[in-house]
Amino acid sequence: MTASLALRAITAEQHRSWIAGRSSVSFLQLPEWGEVKAGWRHESLGWFRGSRLVGAGLVLYRPVPRLPQRSLAYLPEGPDIDWLGAEHPDVVIQDWLAPLLAHARARGAFQVKMGPPVALRRWESGTVKAALAARADDPRAPDRLSAVPADETSTAAAALVQRLRSLGWSRESTGGAGFGDVQPRYVFQLPLADRTLDDVLSGFNQLWRRNIRKAEKAGVVVTRGERADLAAFHPVYVETAARDHFTPRALSYFERMWDALNAHEEHLRLYLAHRNDHVAAATLMVVVGDHAWYSYGASTTADRDVRPSNALQWRMIGDAHALGCRTYDLRGIADTLDPAHHLHGLVQFKVGTGGYAQEYVGEWDMTLRSLWARGFRAYQARRG
């Protein structure tokens, strides 16, 4: 018989204390992240065995327009619980999730969406490079990374996927680009643990090393920015959005992100690449525990030939290494190997660092009130 778990709201300070005792938790699960998401309500939840806190999560509630008593409950890249039974082998996954669903229903949620931070498969950079080359040479070769045999597969994560399905949770298809989930299922990560920076640099491909040198010779200078420098980052970001065909966020979003993530501890950093007294490119990096994430990037078209983005990445990797981070996370990649795909270049860029591609188990949904869930999906579809 398993031990029962109790779930209840906890304070932001309790949540921060929990995260401080972990090696790392996704920055999307910081209690401060709720302050970033305007238009969403948020609360921190804690799982308890007796009086001991054994898990925590940030829940974002997206209200139905004009009907705030009904909402979508979303736990991005969370919650932070013992998903695979390593810490609490006598507790099954249903013991964690049943109280979450009951709590969300009591809060008026019609659907719960969560993103277990559990890695399913991994492909080393050499495997990805070989698959990219094979597809470029032969159109009959696999056009998806997911069709390539992985170097590592977690049987425990695969069992979790099956268990979630058996409990009634559903996972949507990632679609052609691999970005069907709200957060990316496929990411590219660079290991830093037990490596010198020379080790890391030697793992880059020749093009990456050449581009870092090219930026330096062209006079690109990378500096840390302050909150006020977000105003210099934002026009370059807007230019990038127009070039790459996505809708940019307002400057106020990044100011809110800065204020929230740096209110209690410095989680968010801004980097600026200058050339000839102007900003050629800029990036944002988030650090929680021993994990660093490349969060946002922007570059001018005029300066792309001097490779300021490579210079920025190298500076961020060096700073993450100096902070003792074990992983530098370049975030999402598409599940594509097709040279004709518009996200193919992004895959090539990140693979050049010599890290590994990783697939997570993805985002999962449980419908609590089907009529409300269908109505909300129809509303979202009309909004586009």
Whether residue 108 sits in one domain with residue 48: yes
Whether residue 372 sits in one domain with residue 344: no
Whether residue 45 sits in one domain with residue 156: no
272 pLDDT higher than 80: yes
Confidence band (pLDDT; 50, 70, 90) for 378? confident
Whether residue 127 sits in one domain with residue 105: no
384 pLDDT higher than 70: no
75 pLDDT higher than 50: yes
Average pLDDT, the chain: 94
Whether residue 20 sits in one domain with residue 59: yes
The domain that holds 17 is classified in CATH as 3.40.630.30
Whether residue 272 sits in one domain with residue 295: yes
**In a domain? residue 335:** yes
What integer pLDDT is reported at residue 119 of this predicted model?
98
**In a domain? residue 83:** yes
**In a domain? residue 81:** yes
Confidence band (pLDDT; 50, 70, 90) for 178? very low
172 pLDDT higher than 90: no
Whether residue 123 sits in one domain with residue 103: no
1-13 pLDDT tens trace: 456 899 999 999 9
Q: Which domain holds residue 109?
A: 6-115+363-383
**In a domain? residue 259:** yes
What integer pLDDT is reported at residue 173 of this predicted model?
53
96 pLDDT higher than 80: yes
Whether residue 321 sits in one domain with residue 172: yes
SS3 letters across the chain: CCCCCEEEEECHHHHHHHHHCCCCCCHHHCCCHHHHCCCCEEEEEEEEECCEEEEEEEEEEEEECCEEEEEEEEECCCCECCCCCCCCCCCCHHHHHHHHHHHHHHCCEEEEEECCCCEEEEEEHHHHHHHHHHHHHCCCCCCCHHHCCCCEECHHHHHHHHHHHHCCCECCCCCCCCCCCCCCCEEEEEECCCCCHHHHHHHCCHHHHHHHHHHHHCCCEEEEECHHHHHHHHHHHHHHHHHHCCCCCCHHHHHHHHHHHCCCCCCEEEEEEEECCEEEEEEEEEEECCEEEEEEEEECCCCHHHCHHHHHHHHHHHHHHHCCCCEEEEEECCCCCCCCCCCHHHHHHHHCCCCEEEEECCCEEEECCHHHHHHHHHHHHHHC
150 pLDDT higher than 50: yes
174 pLDDT higher than 60: no
Whether residue 137 sits in one domain with residue 270: yes
Whether residue 195 sits in one domain with residue 313: yes
Whether residue 123 sits in one domain with residue 105: no
